[in-house]
Structures are given as structure tokens and as C-alpha cells.
Structure 1
């Protein structure tokens, strides 16, 4: 398989986009702590998986079907921090008005028509079927378009998951499936520095005709390289690829509704004590930049200050506009 590693410029850009995703995620947590929203679907720990894959998407040409945790994906392909905050706040308002369907939780339904981002549904894994249909239409039209469908490891137990992969393999569709597997329960004292935890897939899950690769999803270089190859394979008409990205989520999957008392919040859950270097995607990317002589403390400090200022302004604007629209 051909290797397409990121250049020094791309690696720095990957770091910047991951930093943006982290800062935005932290501000979403603040919205929760202050009682503006009562649920958080955090992307903390997913940054390398989401940014490293999404940066390979041809925005406006390819179709992207994110799942509810893919905040880093939508930011990378063009959604602004302001739009992310407005989406979170709008989801909360719909929940309060009883307009969010049967779901009791205000999940984010990411969608952006001008960027070909398809709004994700509430039922787990159904977006994979939608993605297979879009890819089938692209193939019939002989368009150089790739469809990218994201999911979490919980989706792999659904029938829609298996049907989507089988259909894509049978018809050789131009599609890339990406599963972000939370491996936090498998972490031990040695973590997965030398080997990955067990796959979330059953042995029979990968049909003939579907390329499969399991990757350390905390390594943005590995994710980017695999995704570039998968996109090239699909765009040249050589069929679908499934990428399983193993990562360590450092915040809880499910949060209790905010009660108004900060002491009752579900607290931030850090990764294992020696996981900072191994599991935090931002730290790993920083080490890669340092090893290649590309890291500059002044550049990093200026980047962080600028992004925090811009994101804070976007947060305040989103709160103002949301409150004014009530």
C-alpha cells in the first residue's frame, strides 16, 4: 500500500486544527457547567482521528456523514466555532420544546448543505446506509466523488452496519467507513504503545471486496496517511475501505443532566497516569513536530492565544444571538 505521509506544512496544519477542536470542546463543556446545555457529546481524545481523516476530504465535492461526536470533523471541513456553539444551543432548545423526536438526549445533528455534510439521524448506524446509497448514486453517475461515513464502536453491533459494508463491498462503491473505537476500557499500565487493544468488530464483519485497516487513532500522522490512501482508492474506482481507529477518550461517554449545582456535575475523567504522552493526540503531534525540528514554542503560544480569543468571541456571540432569538 502506497504511503502518503503529511508534509511539514500539513503536519503543522493538523496540529492547529486539532488544537481548535480541543478548545471548542472545552468551551462546550463550559456551556454545560453553566447550565446552558444539559448534555455533552465530547470529542476529547478523538482529535487525531477526526481531523486527520477529515482534512483529506474534498469539501463541496465529497459527501460527509458524521456521527454525533464528530465535532472535529465538522470544524475541519468548514463549520465555524460560532456555528458549532449555535448547533449545541439550538439542540438544547429543541429538547426543551419537545421537538427532538423520541430521543431524550440533545445529541448534535451535524449538517451543512454547502459542504455536502449530511445531517445525522438519532438511530445508531443508520447514517451508514444513507452513505452507501449516496456512494451508489455517485458510482452510477460516474462522478469522482467519495462518500465518508463516520460511526462509533457502538454502531458495529447494529444490522445496518453489516448491511452497509456488505452493500458497499458487493458494488465496489467509492466510500470510506470510519469507526472511532473508544479503547479506554482496555487501557492497562502499558497502554497500547506497542499493540492495539482488541478490535470491536466480529471476525465475520469484513466482507470480501472491502479493504480494512486498524490504526492507532491517537497518531494523526498514521490516520492521515491511511485516509489519504483510502480516499485515493475510492476516487480511482477501486472500491471501499473500512478504517478502524483505536483511541482513548478522556471524558465520560454519558453525562447526567445539569442540576444547577456545579458540584453535581460529572467530573472530567483523565486518562491513565502515563497516558499523556501516548494517548493525548495533541501531545503526540507536538512530539512528532519536535522530532522533525518543526516545533516552535513562540508559534505554538501565539497560535493558542489567537485561537482561544477567537473561540471565546464566537462563544459569546452564539450565546447573545441565541438569547436574543428566544
Structure 2
């Protein structure tokens, strides 16, 4: 089945809202990197360059109805679905007081989870969330629920056996599930690119420009509607260009792309952007300050741990 855009284009108000969400994601990501560089946490998987793919798709999900299974880079997904910057920072800091960061300089994965919004905590083994999503979608189908399971993964997941197994089971059972693969377009990641011939029959596939927030939103919205209508599973391969905080913004940077769209519609002003950036930065800095304070208060005293024989 061919997946085409039938949904109306985003309004200026919606586009501005999505830009705001992407900017928030970028700022939180930057401050997480600062925590890492200062030695307060030992692991960060940046989502820079993924913002449009994450925010544009998550904005179509119905929190507390649909089931979302993010992967460790999906900061934009968890923020869009309702996690606050404070909760994000606490998630990072909870297991990484400064002395532990020194003792354990690396961490295998970031476990996102927000159960009140049906966000399922990610597993450690790569791509196993694909099978979990298929299982959840199977339960939704048996219950005749309108819920859809949405599973995210990165480029490395496509090489794992669980990836193809989950897609095959979902296709055979025509399950209400949407798989979103955030595919890095760097030369090193080309080996993980998908080809329609390698995918199971019964699975609808579409390659999407992951830097274009309008395209991401439109195709995700259409895919979820088809999944809810019983049309079977859908795989969206979203092409992104992963960046780093110390790199200059690329031409295909999602925020720059969205800015050009707003400029073309006459909806961009420097004063609006400056005020938005100042407000969001103040909110993120306050959230980080609160998270650091609460983490210090919740950290057990080393002497008390010693006396308890820990």
C-alpha cells in the first residue's frame, strides 16, 4: 500500500508551536551535554539533528491512549509527550551523582519511561522494543482498542534480528503499529539504510525527510490514521543528519529548515524568536538548577552508607 499525504498542511500557529518544541529539545540537549562535560553525568546520547523527526512524529501521538516505545536518543519524543525538562535532568542525574560519574565514566543506554502517558521504558538490548511494540499492538487488536503502538529505533537497530522479527510478526497479523527508524545519513551509517525488497510483505514503508517538520508531521499523522483503521503496520524511515553541540549548524538542520518555512510565510520575526529563546532558556536553566538541588538532597551521605555496611 502506498502512503501518501492526505492531511492538510500545518497552519502557521502549528508550525510555530512545533518550532518552539524543537527549540526546547535543542536547549535541554545542550544542557545535558554541559552536565556530561562537567563530569556530573557519565552518558549522553545527543538528539541534535533529530528534532524534527522526534517532535513532528510525537506531536501526532495521543498520550495516555497510544503506547510509545522510545529509544535512548528520543529526547524530543519524551518532551513532546509530556516529560518536563526537570524530569529529564532528574532522569540523567538520578543514577549519576558526581562521584559515581568518576567511577563509571560510561553508561550503556538511557532508559526513558513515563508510564502515566503510556511511554514504555526502553530495554538495554538494541531493537527489542520493536518486538515489544508488536506484542502491545497485538493486545490492542484483541481488545478492539483504537490505540496504536509506536516504536522508535536508531539506524543500528535495523541490523538486529529482533528488528525484522518484529516487523514480520506485525505484518502477518496486520497489527496497529507504527515503526519509526531515525536513520543517520552520515557515510558511516549508510550500511544500515533500508530497502523495500528486504522488508516483509504486508508492511507499508515510506522514506521521509527527517529534517522537514511538515513532512514528518504529515506522514506520521497519515500513518497513524491508517493503523487505527486496521490497515496494518507501517514503517517510516526518517532520514536525519546527526550533529554535535560543538559543530556548526548544517544546511539541513531541522530548526534552520523550520525557520525558513516561517520566513517564507511571513511568520518569523527576530523579536519573537529572541523572546522565545530567552523564555525557554530561563525555564531550562531553572529546571536544571532545581534538579541539581534535589539530586544533592537525595544523595546519601558516604559516611552513612559506610556505617550501614553498604
TM-score of the superposition, structure 2-length normalised? 0.89
Q: How does 1:197-276 map to 2 (within 5 A)?
A: 200-202=193-195, 204-251=197-244, 268-270=246-248, 276=250
Deviation track 1:16-54 (CA, whole Å, cap 9, x = no partner) reads: 000000000000011011110122100111000000100
SS in 2 for 1:64: strand
1:293 to 260, 266, 269: 266
1:324 to 284, 292, 297: 297
CA distance in 2, matches of 1:225, 1:122: 31
CA distance in 2, matches of 1:202, 1:228: 23
Match for residue 3 of structure 1? 6
Runs of 4+ in 1 over 6 A off after TM superposition: none
- Contact 2:41–2:98 (Cα < 8 Å) also in 1: no
- Contact 2:159–2:192 (Cα < 8 Å) also in 1: no
- Contact 1:95–1:106 (Cα < 8 Å) also in 2: no
CA distance in 2, matches of 1:299, 1:279: 22
Match for residue 187 of structure 2? 185
- Contact 2:209–2:240 (Cα < 8 Å) also in 1: yes
**Correspondence 1:279 to 2:224:** no
By percentage of residues, which structure has more helix?
A: 2
- Contact 1:95–1:105 (Cα < 8 Å) also in 2: no
Decide whether aligned partners of structure 1 residues 198 and 125 sit closer, same or farther in structure 2, where only a CA change above 3 A counts: closer
Across the aligned residues of Structure 1 and Structure 2, the Cα RMSD in angstroms comes to 2.2
CA distance in 2, matches of 1:212, 1:227: 12
- Contact 2:43–2:106 (Cα < 8 Å) also in 1: no
Decide whether aligned partners of structure 1 residues 95 and 116 sit closer, same or farther in structure 2, where only a CA change above 3 A counts: farther
Q: Unmatched 5+ residue regions in structure 2?
A: 300-310
TM-score of the superposition, structure 1-length normalised? 0.85
CA distance in 2, matches of 1:30, 1:142: 46
2:148 to 146, 149, 153: 146
Deviation track 1:111-131 (CA, whole Å, cap 9, x = no partner) reads: 011000000011000011100
CA distance in 1, matches of 2:97, 2:182: 28
CA distance in 2, matches of 1:137, 1:7: 36
- Contact 2:155–2:192 (Cα < 8 Å) also in 1: no
CA distance in 1, matches of 2:191, 2:262: 29
Aligned residue pairs, count: 293
Decide whether aligned partners of structure 1 residues 312 and 199 sit closer, same or farther in structure 2, where only a CA change above 3 A counts: same
Deviation track 1:214-252 (CA, whole Å, cap 9, x = no partner) reads: 01111111111110100100111111110001111112x
- Contact 1:91–1:106 (Cα < 8 Å) also in 2: no
SS in 2 for 1:305: helix
Decide whether aligned partners of structure 1 residues 94 and 298 sit closer, same or farther in structure 2, where only a CA change above 3 A counts: closer
Deviation track 1:68-127 (CA, whole Å, cap 9, x = no partner) reads: 000000000000000000011124359949xx9xx9625210001100000001100001
